[in-house]
Amino acid sequence: MVGDFNLPLIDWSNKTAPTDDIYSLFLQFCNNFGLTQFVDAPTRDDNGLDLVLSNDPYIISSVDIAEPFSNSDHCVVNFKLS
């Protein structure tokens, strides 16, 4: 699953976030389906908004953050599927 989730306050290394409805439900969803988040650098300003999630920790490799495309305010996230 990939996209701009606009959840900048999630700490993916500790799997913690504010306890409001949106953050709690999203982290619960990720935990229930065993999703790992692979983007470890900011994708918009200092925030990691654009995520790559998978329930197979070995299927995603070579995650790279590149400069924004055209007039986008988000960086490009490149990755390879194994």
> DSSP letter at 60?
E
Condensed to tens digits (0 to 9), the pLDDT of residues 9-18 reads 999 999 999 9
Element (DSSP H or E) covering residue 27: helix 21-32
What's this model's pTM, rounded to 2 decimal places? 0.90
Condensed to tens digits (0 to 9), the pLDDT of residues 32-66 reads 999 999 999 999 998 989 999 999 999 999 999 99
Tokens found for residue 53: 């999630």
Query: Rounded to the nearest 5°, which phi and psi values hold at 21?
Result: -60, -45
